[in-house]
């Protein structure tokens, strides 16, 4: 499950549905990130190994993505 950062849980659930669906469609992590950019989202890798979903172009963090999505 993702960790919510300063957001409504219902909005985050809808965003996670988009992120999950696009991950299932994409053939690689690179393609997945490109597809998410089309929706206005970015995945930022942190120094401690977390993957944070954030908005483009202002880079507002939305949630931490689970590691299972990157396996």
Note the pLDDT tens digit of each residue in 33-64: 999 999 999 999 999 999 999 999 999 898 89
pLDDT digits (tens, 9 = 90+) for 23-33: 999 999 999 99
**Percent helix, strand and coil across the chain, each to the nearest 5:** 45, 25, 30
Q: Domain of residue 60: give its range.
A: 3-70
DSSP string, 2-17: PEE-SS-HHHHHHHHH
Q: How many CA atoms lie within 13 A of 54 on its CB side?
A: 13
Our CA angle for 31, 33, 34, nearest 5°, is: 60
State pTM to two decimals: 0.81
| Integer Cα distance of 63 and 54 in angstroms | 7
pLDDT, residue 2, reads 52
Question: Phi, psi (5° rounding) for residue 5?
Answer: -115, 105
Total domains, the chain: 1
């Amino acid at each position: 499950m993702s960790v919510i950062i300063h957001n409504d849980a219902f909005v985050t659930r809808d965003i996670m549905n988009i992120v999950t669906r696009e991950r299932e469609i994409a053939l690689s992590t690179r393609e997945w990130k490109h597809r998410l950019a089309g929706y206005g989202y970015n995945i930022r890798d942190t120094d401690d190994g977390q993957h944070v979903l954030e908005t483009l172009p202002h880079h507002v963090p939305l949630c931490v993505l689970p590691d299972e999505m990157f396996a």
